[in-house]
Amino acid sequence: MHRNALSALIEAIDNREAVALVTVTSGEGAFAQAVGRNAVVRPDLDAGLEVDLGLGTWNAPVLRDARLAVEGKKHKHLNYEQDGGRFSVFVEVQPRPPHLIIAGAGHIAVPLASIAKTCEFLVTVIDDRPQYAHTARFPTADRVVAGPFRQTLVDLRQGKEDLDNDTYVVLVTRGHQYDIDCLLELLDDPLAYLGMIGSRRRIRAVFELLEKEQAIPASKFDRVRAPIGIDIGAITPAEIAVCIMAEIICILREGPLPGLSEQIQQERIERRIRAQASVGERSEG
């Protein structure tokens, strides 16, 4: 690998950027001289315009295909052919590292932060209690922030850490009011995952409160994974952390296992359908 490409990869890791290393792995005819060439490509169009893989007029199409691979977060082995010969490239994608934000620094957050870091997530823990939100309690976390939940989320969005489709948020706060603060701030963000701990009764109470007092459409809560996690019969804080992380990894890797939230989500949808049908019947009458 060329030194410039290596430097670009290291810089991308440091800046939490998605990139791909594109390498010409084979070539025949006019493309034989390009074998072994590589370049780092970013998903935005302008970042790779000056990259030259020695492929002539095929340079731009290959870079476009490489950017699509970066967007899809999957490696690609691509083959091309024309009258002047054929060649292959391997697109090795280095996606942005997933970022887990844990809202609440209680007894479940401690093992969850540790497990997430072992799974190579960036980990941020937030809590409004400085006696809980400190680095001594979360030595493996990348960031621990003591401050009001909602304002801290606003600060994260405005700072370097975007609340985007590489971000996973777990709400394990100590009470309804803090869950509500977080949900009000997060419901419209394009998060990869938004999960909330609690009993079905607590979850239903939170959702109904927000529907009535904040006029939030009920359908918006369908994306909230609540109850959180995959049902493994977890009891202890560490076991609950495992079931939460299992669901997050399932979402990340597009796995098949249903989470605990699936049933309650279906129940909410069915209640809305029945309510709408009832309104329609009364209107017809």
One domain, residues 105 and 152? yes
Q: Has residue 271 been placed in a domain?
A: no
Task: Read off the pLDDT of each residue in 164-179 and give the average, rounded to a whole number.
Answer: 92
One domain, residues 2 and 135? no
Boundary (domain end) residue, out of 53, 70, 94: 94
One domain, residues 28 and 142? no
Task: Read off the pLDDT of each residue in 161-190 and give the average, rounded to a whole number.
Answer: 91
Residue 92: what pLDDT? 93
At residue 158, does pLDDT exceed 70? yes
Q: Has residue 264 been placed in a domain?
A: no
Sequence letter at residue 33: Q
One domain, residues 74 and 108? no
At residue 2, does pLDDT exceed 80? no
Q: Has residue 68 been placed in a domain?
A: yes
| Domain span at 124 | 97-251
CA atoms of 225 and 261, how far apart (whole Å): 5
Question: For residues 24 and 53, is the Cβ–Cβ distance under 8 A?
Answer: yes
Indicate which CATH number applies to the domain containing 228.
Answer: 3.40.50.720
Q: Has residue 234 been placed in a domain?
A: yes
One domain, residues 117 and 3? no
Which range (96-105, 119-128, 169-178, 253-262) has the least confidence? 253-262
Q: Give the ranges where 85-175 is alpha helix by DSSP (H).
A: 109-118, 149-158
Which range (90-94, 172-176, 226-230, 276-280) has the least confidence? 276-280
CA atoms of 163 and 186, how far apart (whole Å): 8
More confident residue, 82 or 284: 82
pLDDT, tens digit (0-9, with 9 covering 90-100), for 46-76: 544 457 888 988 988 999 999 999 888 889 9
One domain, residues 121 and 54? no
One domain, residues 28 and 164? no
Q: Has residue 48 been placed in a domain?
A: yes
Q: Has residue 269 been placed in a domain?
A: no
CA atoms of 246 and 243, how far apart (whole Å): 5
Boundary (domain end) residue, out of 94, 109, 143: 94
SS3 category, 83: coil
One domain, residues 201 and 117? yes
Q: Has residue 256 been placed in a domain?
A: no
One domain, residues 104 and 199? yes
236 contact partners, CB below 8 Å, separation of at least 6: none
One domain, residues 115 and 33? no
CA 6 → CA 20, 51, 97, distances in Å? 11, 14, 18
Domain total in the chain: 2
Count how many Cα atoms sit within 13 Å of the Cα of residue 134 in the half-sphere of its side chain.
Answer: 5
The pLDDT-based confidence of 34 (bands split at 50, 70, 90) is: very high
Q: Has residue 266 been placed in a domain?
A: no
